[in-house]
Amino acid sequence: MAGVNKVILVGNLGSDPEVKYLEGDKAVAKLRLATTESYKDRNGNRIDQTEWHDLEMWDGQAKIAEQYLKKGSQIYVEGKIKTDSWQDEQGQNRYRTKIRVLSFTMLGGKPDGAGSNQPSNSQQAYSPKPAATSNTSGSSQDLVLDDSDDDLPF
């Protein structure tokens, strides 16, 4: 019965992360990630096919995303699929699938600036590379968790 539900994505953000702060030092970030596949059709024309993914990050990860990611950023993402379902006003079943991010890594060169609200001198804040990889995390000692076998609330 124990299962595996794993997603690996490499793509670019369609816009800056949207971060909401909740009570108790909690935060959630929503991001839209494009993964583009390129192939030739039977006439030899190159076709790009883009898939858009809704990413969700929490807490320390959300804050790192806010600080370092922005529209266009290329990232590697690991996460799991979660589908929300509900009934709409017409009583119809509705579904929405998102990727709950467990860790991500920034790709490509150094960021040329930072999150959308950041002054572009945040290069320094970026230094050492504490943000280059983020795992689902929280406490200030940089505790790293993954949410498979424990009592995390998600």
Partner DNA sequence: TTTT
Name the nearest CA neighbour of 123 among 105, 133, 110, 109.
110
Dig out the tokens for 120 from the structure.
């572009």
Q: Which stretch binds DNA (CB under 7 A): 7-15, 18-26, 90-98, 136-144?
A: 7-15
Name the nearest CA neighbour of 64 among 101, 99, 10, 32.
101
Asked if residue 32 binds DNA (CB under 7 A), the reply is: yes
The dihedral through the CA atoms of 9, 105, 55, 82 has a sign that is positive
- Which of residues 31 and 59 has its CB atom nearest to DNA in the complex? 31
Q: Which of 7, 28, 34, 144 binds DNA (CB under 7 A)?
A: 34
Q: In angstroms, what is the minimal distance from the CB of 24 to DNA?
A: 30
Q: CA-CA-CA-CA torsion for 51, 154, 8, 40, nearest 10 degrees?
A: -10
Asked if residue 12 binds DNA (CB under 7 A), the reply is: yes
Provide the binding-site residues for DNA, judged by CB under 7 A.
Answer: 1, 11-15, 32, 34, 36, 48, 50, 52, 71-72, 74, 109-110, 126, 129, 132
